[in-house]
Structure 1
Amino acid sequence: MGNALFVVWRESVEAMLVIGILYAWLKRNPAPGGLRALWIGVGSGVGLALLLGWAMLAAQDELSGQALEWFQTAILFVAAGLITQMVLWMARHGRHMKGHLEAGLARAADQGSWIGIASISALAIAREGAETVIFLYGLGMEHGDGSALAIGALAGFALALLTAWATSRGLRFLDPRHFFKITGALLLVFAAALLVAGVERLIGMGWLPPLLDPVWDSSGLLDDTNAGGSLLATLVGYRAQPSLMLLLAYLGYWGSVLFVKSRLHR
């Protein structure tokens, strides 16, 4: 539930920030049908994200046995990859996002294209929505508690609305740069946990060798099947009895992320 709340909150705040940038520009630079096109685009983006969620559930219902196992494992890797890519993209392009969005709107408005305006908002919202849907699917597949996941997602969206309202009222407690930096780091931790779950499935299916299993056994200190250990396993990918392959995947992930981040800051 906590992961779902956090992810939906973070992604919804980003989506609301995009909508706010587009709305403010259109208010300053009125274009025929511009605001209507903006909201049509927002609705279309949400619809595309929901369509993706429906397609994933429909595909799951049609699959069984090993095919279903492969599909679910692939979703874990896709979710981890998307979240990682999104965080790294924001680290590199976040400061220029407002300028890019406004430049796109200016071109569409100059051409008198309400479709262009709608497309800009639709694609931006669909991207955020797709990342959220895939991540929630991965979480639900691993933990199976749909009601807790739904409650967490709704709470995250409500918190995002409250955050957007407070910011619009001039309560400057939210510095976007610090917000995305801190939440981005936490999202990378969650992505690593999904990667661990995917690698664990591949080992269980016999497609990856464990190499050495286990490397250690810390279940006497913290068992990953009890309440505290299970929470840590969900949040950061903790395993009380990790195999060497699992450790190599985990360390390889963080090594790659830190290398890319170091290149971004040059």
Structure 2
Amino acid sequence: MFASIAFVVWRESVEALLVIGILDAWLVGRSIDTRRARGFLWGGAIAGLGVAAVLAALLLWLGEAVSDETQTIYQTVIALLAAALILQMVFWMRRHGRSMRSELEGSMNRAVTAGSWWGVFTLALIAVAREGSETVVFIYGILSAGVLGSLTAGLLAGLTGFGLAAITYALLMTGSRVISWRLFFRISEIVLLFLACGLLMTGVDGLINLDILPRLSRALWNTNFLLSDGTTAGGFFASMTGYRARPNLMELIGFCSYWIVVLAVIYRPRKNSLSATAPR
């Protein structure tokens, strides 16, 4: 769980730093009151963190307030929601990643042209609140998949992820040959897709335990001799990939369906490619 949480915080923090960095660089390059503009920009970023903190408190409160049986349903829903959000984020970045900078700068230009510093504040707030809220849901979903040693360990994992994000962002901004933006997004995309699969399988297991989905069969095979998902290493691998040592048919259907859909979306022909090759 420690590594999963650290990775999620690392990935989302780098993206949030990227957005704020793009907006800050745009402000510096304009003949405006940069100090005042930055005040609204970073004020919006802090407010966005506040929104994420409120969401975290709300999720924790709901988790403690519900009964044991309802908590199982609640955690299952959160795990499935986290998986869906990860997929949505990955697919969105694949579609808009290249144009993200121009879109952000366009929004910033409209806000400044209109003389609305609150527009700058709102843009930063929305960007950070989105990344922060996604991170909160992801982490809660990961925690629903297993047990982290303590709250202190969870906070340490988050701080580790943020520290690594700051280092990664610095390397990316200095044009490091070790890592590029393209490599960063490609590697993190692959890991996120596996993590989403792990969360989906947690949700499927939850639905089976709640008798909402049938097992359809007993264990189809047993690979405990290779890697047991009941051990520390096996449990980590299972949470990160959706691996099951003794899967039933419903789990196998869920796992295969997930990757069929993901690969179909990733490798489907783009409209511009089709139009370019269409006969005239």
Unaligned runs of 5+ in 1: none
Q: Does 2:32 correspond to 1:27?
A: no
Report the alpha carbon displacement of residue 167 of structure 1 after superposing the two structures with TM. Answer: 3.3
| Aligned position for 2:261 | 256
Report the alpha carbon displacement of residue 99 of structure 1 after superposing the two structures with TM. Answer: 0.4
Report the alpha carbon displacement of residue 172 of structure 1 after superposing the two structures with TM. Answer: 4.2
Q: Does 2:193 correspond to 1:192?
A: no
| Aligned position for 2:218 | 213
Partner of 1:222, secondary structure, is coil
Q: Does 2:206 correspond to 1:201?
A: yes
d(CA) in 1 for partners of 2:31 and 2:74? Answer: 46
Q: Does 2:230 correspond to 1:225?
A: yes
Amino acid at match of 2:96: H
Amino acid at match of 1:127: R
d(CA) in 2 for partners of 1:229 and 1:222? Answer: 6
d(CA) in 2 for partners of 1:134 and 1:213? Answer: 32
Report the alpha carbon displacement of residue 185 of structure 1 after superposing the two structures with TM. Answer: 1.0
Instruction: Summarize the alignment of residues 143-182 of structure 1 with structure 2, pairs less than 5 Å apart.
Output: 143-145=146-148, 146=150, 147-182=152-187
1:17-50 CA-partner distances (Å, limit 9, x unpaired) = 1111000000111444321110111011111111
- Distance 1:264-1:120 versus aligned 2 partners, 3 A rule: farther
d(CA) in 1 for partners of 2:26 and 2:117? Answer: 14
Amino acid at match of 1:104: S
Of the three residues 57, 77, 80, the one matched with 1:77 is: 80
Amino acid at match of 2:247: P
Report the alpha carbon displacement of residue 119 of structure 1 after superposing the two structures with TM. Answer: 0.9
Moved over 4 A (4+): none
d(CA) in 2 for partners of 1:22 and 1:138? Answer: 31
Report the alpha carbon displacement of residue 196 of structure 1 after superposing the two structures with TM. Answer: 0.2
1:64-107 CA-partner distances (Å, limit 9, x unpaired) = 13222211110000100001110110011000000000000000
TM-score (normalizing by structure 2): 0.91
Q: Does 2:36 correspond to 1:62?
A: no
8 Å contact from structure 1 (residues 140, 149) kept in 2: no
Q: Does 2:245 correspond to 1:244?
A: no
Amino acid at match of 1:93: H
Amino acid at match of 2:203: G
Partner of 1:224, secondary structure, is coil
Of the three residues 129, 140, 161, the one matched with 2:132 is: 129
- Distance 1:144-1:121 versus aligned 2 partners, 3 A rule: same
Report the alpha carbon displacement of residue 170 of structure 1 after superposing the two structures with TM. Answer: 4.4
d(CA) in 1 for partners of 2:212 and 2:145? Answer: 19
8 Å contact from structure 2 (residues 198, 238) kept in 1: yes
Amino acid at match of 1:258: L
| Aligned position for 1:119 | 122
8 Å contact from structure 1 (residues 92, 264) kept in 2: no
Unaligned runs of 5+ in 2: 274-280
Q: Does 2:93 correspond to 1:90?
A: yes
Of the three residues 47, 51, 54, the one matched with 2:50 is: 47
8 Å contact from structure 1 (residues 91, 181) kept in 2: no
| Aligned position for 1:109 | 112
8 Å contact from structure 1 (residues 167, 174) kept in 2: yes
8 Å contact from structure 2 (residues 8, 135) kept in 1: yes
Partner of 1:143, secondary structure, is coil
